Amino acid sequence: MSETTETIFSKIIRREIPADIVYEDELAIAFKDVHPQAPVHILVIPKQPIKSLVDITSGDRDLMSHLLLTAQQVAINAGLNNGYRLVINTGNDGGQTVSHIHLHILGGRQMTWPPG
């Protein structure tokens, strides 16, 4: 995982590269994952470039709550009435490849457990 906070996601926020954006407000943005792992695969990210879940503090409490509520609303808007999976890959062992914290919303098929 890269140590820089400037990632491809910062470029998406600034509209420097295209993305299929499905939601945006002053704190967060949600867009379709470029490599979907399910019929619905949307990423919810803060505009603030926090690297990973490891880096959040109690000062990020409101922001993290906002991201969860945003994910809930985005899932509703995507029609995921039968459930979905919310994933935050964290660090190398967690499989995180982009160093800008993001919530994966995966849905539209039956999820399996355990994940790979």
Distances (CA, A) of 30 to 3, 47, 78: 23, 10, 12
Q: Which of 55, 97, 109, 111 binds ligand DGP (CB under 6 A)?
A: 97
Instruction: Give the one residue of 19, 28, 67, 80 binding ligand DGP; rule: CB under 6 A.
Output: 19
Question: Rounded to the nearest whole angstrom, what is the least distance from the CB of residue 72 to ligand DGP in the complex?
Answer: 19
* Residue among 24, 25, 27, 34 that touches ligand DGP (CB under 6 A): 34
Exposure b/e, 70-86, CB count within 10 A at least 16 = b: bbeebbeebebeeebbe
In the chain, count of helices (H) and strands (E)? 2, 5
Q: Pick from 39, 79, 91, 95: which binds ligand DGP (CB under 6 A)?
A: 95
Indicate whether 60 belongs to the interface with ligand DGP (CB under 6 A). no
Helix (H), strand (E) at residue 40? strand 40-46
The three-state secondary structure class of 76 is: helix
Residue 53 engages ligand DGP in binding (rule: CB under 6 A):
no
Does position 8 interact with ligand DGP (CB under 6 A)? The reply is yes
**Total residues contacting ligand DGP (rule CB under 6 A)?**
13
